[in-house]
A = this chain, B = another copy of it.
Amino acid sequence: MARTTGSDGEKTEAAIREAAVNLIARLGYEAMSMRQLAAEVGVQAAALYRYFPTKEDLLFTLMREHMEGLIRAWNAARPAAADPARRLAAYVENHIAFHIERRHATHVSNMELRSLSHDRLTQILRMRTAYEKELRAILRDGAEASVFSVEDTGLTAMAVIQMMTGVIVWFRPGERLSISEVTATYLSMTMRLVGAEAHGATTTYSAPHGFGRAKDAVAP
Contact = CB atoms under 8 A, between A and B. Distances in A.
Interface of A: 26-28, 30-31, 111, 114-115, 125, 128-129, 136, 149, 151-163, 165-167, 169-170, 177, 182, 185-186, 188-189, 192-195, 211, 213-218, 220
- The A interface, classified by DSSP as helix, strand, loop or mixed, is helix
B177 A152 contact: yes
16 contacts: A27-B114, A28-B30, A31-B114, A111-B111, A125-B220, A129-B220, A154-B216, A154-B218, A155-B185, A155-B218, A157-B218, A158-B167, A162-B162, A162-B163, A163-B163, A193-B193
Contact of A114 (B26, B153, B218): B26
A151 B28 contact: no
A151 B191 CA distance: 13
A30 B129 CA distance: 28
A194 B194 CA distance: 12
Contacts of A161: 166
Nearest to A111: B111
A220 B128 contact: yes
A149 B197 CA distance: 14
A166 B162 CA distance: 6
B185 A189 contact: no
A33 to B, nearest CB: 11
